[in-house]
Structure 1
Amino acid sequence: MATIKDVARHAGVSVATVSRVINGSPLTKPDTADLVKRTMRDLGYRPNAAARTLVSKRSLAIGVVVADVSDPFFGSLVKHVDTIAHQQGHHLLIGNGYHEAAREKQAIESLIQNQVASLIVHSKALDDDTLRDFSEEHGAMVFINRLIPGLEDRCIFLDNYRGAFLATEHLIEQGHRYVAYIGSSHPIEDTVQRQQGYEDALNTYRVTDETHPVMMAFDTPDETGGERAMAKLMADNPRLSAVFCYNDIMAAGAMTALTDRDFRVPEDVSVVGFDDSLIARYLHPKLTSVRYPIEEMAALAAEQAIALSSQEPMRDEKGNYTPTLIKRNSVAKPSE
């Protein structure tokens, strides 16, 4: 006798999708529903009572997939999604993807199988086609920090390139000509976009030449990675006077490396971070940083996802956010 798993396997969909079709859920695409129904007929599958109750009650769970919830950036994202969820009587289920395709896929599939009403996905390792397939399987999926062609109305993202350009431009405008970049070693689009913004700012202001080379170092996007990268840059480039860092956590590590070597921030070396996370306000000196409005973005993602799951109109608000530079005390004119 055929089982619900047999139907899912033959139709090329998840068990959760078959369950939604059985229960007449509006979240399933018509073409997918037709395929599942044909497969059920072909296999002679008859839904039992357990299958019919899988989605018979409206779920109040919101699934959230992030890289690592222990990271302060993603912790803030989850916190602000939870705030909106709580206000509307929902609760969260969380999956970690660790910027690995297999882990991201597993996290999304697990949340779908757990019958979450809506999904907020931060994915950097899965390709666009895979995410499009998931969005067809689950009709209330919203993507954060990602722009997927064809799904623009479900994407909430920041212009990483513009943020990096602003940070580098600020250092150049202060008179710095030996400006370095500390980047993440993770092979994700944020890394590429921020590096490109840094390089284009140098080229736009004609800073780079034989005497002013591009100076970059890459490591894990945490305090230790920032510290190691800064140590390498200082060893290789003694004239370096400013550094733009991939995120605030790496900037904190870079500042530690500098002070441990008796360099003063910003008198000897200016430092700019990215994210404007809580740590930026409590470092000494306070860190100049590119603001990543993750609170607003996470709240919008939660509202849009809940609206999709309830088949209500989404807010008429664009998901494209523009970064701003928050100037504090970690940047000064070069000493020479």
Structure 2
Amino acid sequence: MATIKDVAAAAGVSVATVSRVVNNGPKVSAKNRELVKKVMLELGYRPNANARALVTQTNPTLGLVFSELTDPFFATLAGGVEKITRNHNIQLLISNGLVSAETEKQAIETLLEQRCQALVVHAKALSNQTLIDYANAIPAMVLINRFIPEIAHRCVWLDNQAGGEAAARHLLSLGHRNIACISSNYDIEDPRLRLEGVKSILAESNTPLAEHAIATAEPNEIGGEIAAQNLLARGLDLSAVIVYNDAMASGVISVLCDNGYRVPEDISVIGFDDVLLSRYLRPKLTTMRYPIEMMAMEAAEMSLALANDENVADLHKYVPTLVKRDSVAPPRTNQT
């Protein structure tokens, strides 16, 4: 990675001149300013904008990277962060990562260029090593909904496997044995861990989850519809479905009802997240609560504390909890 000295040498100017250009300082000719900017671009030099913000304190900001602007889950996440920034009189800047490694990296870089004081990052596509490198370069960066052992004290995360286990246990306790799963097709750890949790509990009860009882699609309402249609097309004898998130669950319930199934009398449905939508579905959705607002508030507080060189706790793990509503009931008949 190019340094400020490399830029100065290539441009034939002093390090002080490069520094003035970086910080929009005076006493630099237009010719030299353009030359330095050109060399910075050619060498791929990126000033440590986060460090500059911590020194200058000119425009205190917290940057938030998340995945999807229209998803109610991420709206809740952003709302939690915004509560903290408002309490601290800090400006909040948001950049969308779109579950793409390239876009997530661009989102982080964009916020750094805006001289954010601190960063809360929800990144699912970037590798562990890339995020470790960012964390080492950005002292006030905190990851949310991601656990990386090497930077565990900078992670606020949910035990997704425990959530899958709890959902499966609840259905088994009611007598369900013919259980299917609808999951996200995103290549990220959350769906894998939730599915692993479901599989482990069902295997322990001698009712292993068959591969043909698993359907995947995009983690939204339309994806839920598509996955439910695919399950029904397989002619499975189902009494319950565990769904990746509440948005997908709403699509699942719609398709079941359109095909003459009653929820929960014929097929029970359990979601994940406990977003606002789950309270207003009919029937009201039984789901695993993901305390994302609480987690987001903690992540924001942590990030601001790190920006001020304050100590933070070592472990920030959360566990999903079951919210019982109306979409789950015991199966109509005993199952084998």
Q: TM-score range by the shorter chain?
A: 0.7 to 0.9
Q: Which deviates more, 234-243 or 263-272? A: 234-243
Contact 2:213/2:236 (CA < 8 Å) preserved in 1? no
Task: Give the count of matched residue pairs.
Answer: 300
1:310 has 2:308 as partner: yes
Identity of aligned residues (%): 41
Q: Deviations over 1:103-154 (max 9, x none)?
A: 0011001111111000000011001110111112211000000111221111
Deviations 1:162-206 (A, max 9, x none): 001110111111111110000001110001101111111110111
Q: Which residue of 2 aligns with 1:92?
A: 92
CA contact (8 A) 2:176 2:330 kept: yes
Unaligned runs of 5+ in 2: 26-51
Q: 1:135 to 1:172 in 2, by over 3 A?
A: same
Contact 1:69–1:78 at 8 Å: present in 2 too? no
Kindly indicate whether the alpha-carbon contact (under 8 Å) linking 2:80 and 2:297 is maintained by their aligned counterparts in 1: yes
Q: Are residues 115 and 139 of structure 1, via their aligned partners in 2, closer, same or farther at CA, if it must alter by over 3 Å? A: same
Residues in 2 aligned to 1:238 and 1:322: alpha-carbon distance in whole angstroms: 32
Question: What do residues 2-45 of structure 1 show as CA deviations (whole Å, max 9, x unaligned)?
Answer: xxxxxxx523xxxxxxxxxxxxxxxxxxxxxxxx5x64775543
Letter in 2 for 1:159: D
2:111 is aligned to 111
Helix, strand or coil: the match of 2:2? helix
Give the whole-Å Cα distance in 1 for the aligned partners of 2:235 and 2:201: 20
User: Could you say if the C-alpha distance between residues 148 and 238 of structure 1 is closer, same or farther in structure 2, counting changes exceeding 3 Å?
Assistant: closer
Shift of 1:278: 0.7
Give the secondary structure class of the aligned counterpart of 2:56.
Answer: coil
Amino acid at match of 1:63: G
Alignment check: 8 A CA contact 1:85 1:92 kept = yes
Instruction: Answer yes or no: is the 8 Å Cα contact 1:112–1:138 preserved in 2.
Output: no
Kept after mapping to 2: 8 A contact 1:183/1:219: yes
Q: TM-score, normalised by structure 1?
A: 0.85
**Equivalent-residue separation in structure 1 for 2:320 and 2:106 (angstroms):** 32
Regions of 4+ moved over 6 Å:
none
Distance 1:253 1:302 in 2: 32
Structure-2 residue corresponding to 1:25: none
Q: How far is the alpha carbon of 1:213 from its aligned partner?
A: 6.9
Separation in 2, partners of 1:213, 1:126: 28
How far apart are residue 214 of structure 1 and its match? 5.8
**Does the residue aligned with 1:92 lie in a helix, a strand or coil?**
strand
- Quote the residue 2:267 is aligned against: 269
Deviates more, 1:297-306 or 1:42-51: 42-51
- Partners of 2:142 and 2:309 lie apart in 1 by 14
Q: How does 1:9-158 map to 2 (within 5 A)?
A: 10-11=2-3, 39=6, 44-47=14-17, 49-52=20-23, 55=53, 57-58=56-57, 59-158=59-158
Structure 1 residues not aligned, in runs of 5+: 1-8, 12-35
Equivalent residue for 2:328, pick from 321, 328, 331: 331
Deviation at 1:228, TM superposition (A): 1.0
Separation (CA, whole Å) in 2 of partners of 1:289 and 1:122: 22
Residue type at the aligned position of 1:81: V
Give runs of aligned pairs for residues 158-197 of structure 1, distance below 5 A.
Answer: 158-197=158-197
C-alpha distance in structure 2 between counterparts of 1:84 and 1:199, whole Å: 38
Native 8 Å contact 1:97 1:103 kept in 2: yes
C-alpha distance in structure 2 between counterparts of 1:255 and 1:45, whole Å: 63
Contact 1:66-1:97 at 8 Å conserved across structures: yes
Q: What is the distance in 1 between the residues matched to 2:69 and 2:212?
A: 34
Q: Please tell me the root mean square deviation across aligned C-alpha atoms, in Å.
A: 1.8
Asked if the contact 1:65/1:108 (under 8 Å) is kept, the reply is yes
Alpha-carbon contact 1:40-1:46 (below 8 Å) kept: no
Q: Is the contact made by 1:181 and 1:215 (CA closer than 8 Å) also made in structure 2?
A: yes
1:284, 1:10 → 2: CA distance?
58
SS at match of 1:63: strand
Q: Return the offset for 1:60.
A: 1.2
Q: 1:248 aligns with which of 237, 246, 249?
A: 246
1:93 Cα deviation (Å)? 0.8
Residue matched to 2:317: 320
Relative to 1, partners in 2 of residues 1:328 and 1:50: Cα closer, same or farther, differing over 3 Å?
A: same
Specify the SS of the correspondent of 1:46.
helix
> SS of the residue aligned with 1:266?
coil
271-280 vs 317-326, which moves further: 317-326
CA distance in 1, matches of 2:252, 2:56: 51
CA distance in 2, matches of 1:213, 1:73: 28
Shift of 1:238: 3.5
